[in-house]
């Protein structure tokens, strides 16, 4: 277990947060000292298997589920793209075909997530939809059967969100959110990258809820994004936070103010972002103010 101890520690930390069991109760029922417990979940100590199982029993987590999540964490850290697949210089259909084949035959979904992200940034929406539709059954199977999302599966969910049904979004969103929140808590160098993912995911879910006439739930997500400290967010997340201000202005029937804010965001994209990023941001903006307004007010 020594070789994989860091992944066991991270997995235990995840389940402690996920289950919301008070630490005081864990210490008492598993008969473990506070210092030893915190040393272990922070990667600075070790536990006997019997003691670990005692903690898992308090959390109502099976050993198999625990080991599965630890294995996924290790896989997440070690994932690489197979060298046999076409590079970005090859035609996109070849890249997609290889990524799909890899996802079908292995547990590695990194390449599929990355090629779909490139597709999202380079293809117009009708073409993107045409290409992704045949792949959606595979994507939904991956997202539906995976209990604990790796970083690749989080990105896969994020790029697939505009194409998933509302029911599929409702099923996968809690898992993706929990996995992202855990990674943000556990990482330092890449936490801003994951924060971008989390805010973008919340934004897509907010629009989906508004589009499906769940206005209160949509506003709740908008308020969560608005409450995030601007100084702790990267440019992308702050841009989405400004987009939420546009959405809230539309909901509050402040059409003129919303349109002014929207126009400023369009200017920001073309002034600050490189050309290859424009299409991705245009999709976030729903391409024009009228289309965004129709989505927000569920009038489309």
Q: Each residue of 173-190: b (16+ CB within 10 Å) or e?
A: bebbbebbebbbebeeee
Query: How many angstroms from the chain centroid is the CA of residue 90?
Result: 28
Q: Give the distance from CA 263 to its chain's centroid.
A: 28
- The CA-CA-CA angle for residues 174, 226, 275, to 5°, reads 90
Note the pTM of the prediction, 2 decimals.
Answer: 0.73
Q: Is the pLDDT of residue 84 over 60?
A: no
pLDDT at res. 39: 82
Q: Which of 13-27, 88-102, 144-158, 198-212 has the highest mean pLDDT?
A: 198-212
pLDDT digits (tens, 9 = 90+) for 4-36: 677 788 888 878 877 778 888 888 888 888 888
Q: Which CATH superfamily is domain 2-78 in?
A: lambda repressor-like DNA-binding domains (1.10.260.40)
| Percent of the chain clearing pLDDT 90 (strictly above) | 36
**What is the pLDDT, as a whole number, of residue 191?**
61
What separation in angstroms does the CA of 67 have from each of 1, 177, 237, 258?
11, 21, 33, 49
Encode pLDDT of 193-241 as tens digits.
778 888 999 999 999 999 999 999 999 999 999 998 887 788 899 999 9
Nearest-10 Cα torsion for 246, 247, 252, 255: 50
In this structure, are residues 85 and 118 in contact, taking their beta carbons and an 8 Å threshold?
no
Q: Would you kindly state where each structural domain of the chain is located, as residue ranges?
A: 2-78, 187-296
Residues 168-178, mean pLDDT to the nearest whole number: 93
Radius of gyration of the chain (CA): 21
Q: What gap in Å lies between CA 244 and CA 270, rounded to an integer?
A: 19
- Residues making up the chain, counted from first to last: 300
Measured N-to-C along each axis, helices 191-211 and 166-186 cross at an angle, to the nearest 10 degrees, of 160
């Amino acid at each position: 277990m020594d070789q994989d101890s860091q992944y066991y520690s991270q997995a235990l930390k995840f389940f402690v947060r996920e289950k919301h069991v008070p630490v005081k109760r864990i210490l008492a029922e598993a008969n473990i000292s506070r210092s030893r417990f915190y040393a272990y979940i922070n990667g600075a100590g070790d536990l006997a298997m019997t003691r670990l199982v005692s903690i898992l029993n308090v959390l109502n987590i099976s050993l198999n589920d625990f080991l599965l999540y630890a294995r996924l964490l290790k896989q997440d850290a070690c994932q690489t793209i197979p060298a046999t697949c076409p590079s970005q210089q090859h035609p996109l259909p070849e890249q997609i075909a290889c990524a799909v084949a890899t996802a079908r035959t292995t547990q590695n979904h990194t390449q599929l997530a990355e090629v779909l992200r490139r597709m999202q940034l380079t293809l117009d929406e009708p073409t993107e939809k045409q290409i992704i539709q045949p792949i959606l059954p595979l994507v939904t199977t991956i997202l539906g059967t995976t209990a604990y999302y790796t970083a690749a599966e989080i990105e896969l969910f994020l790029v697939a969100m505009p194409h998933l049904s509302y029911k599929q979004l409702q099923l996968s969103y809690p898992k993706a959110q929990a996995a992202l929140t855990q990674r943000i808590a556990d990482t330092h160098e890449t936490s801003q990258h994951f924060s971008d993912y989390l805010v973008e995911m919340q934004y897509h879910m907010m629009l989906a809820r508004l589009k499906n006439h769940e206005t209160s739930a949509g506003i709740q997500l908008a308020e969560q994004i608005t409450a995030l400290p601007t100084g702790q967010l990267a440019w992308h997340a702050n841009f989405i936070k400004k987009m939420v201000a546009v959405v809230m202005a539309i909901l509050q029937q402040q059409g003129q103010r919303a349109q002014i804010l929207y126009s400023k965001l369009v200017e920001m994209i073309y002034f600050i972002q490189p050309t290859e990023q424009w299409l991705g941001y245009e999709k976030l903006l729903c391409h024009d103010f009228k289309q965004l307004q129709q989505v927000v007010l569920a009038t489309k």
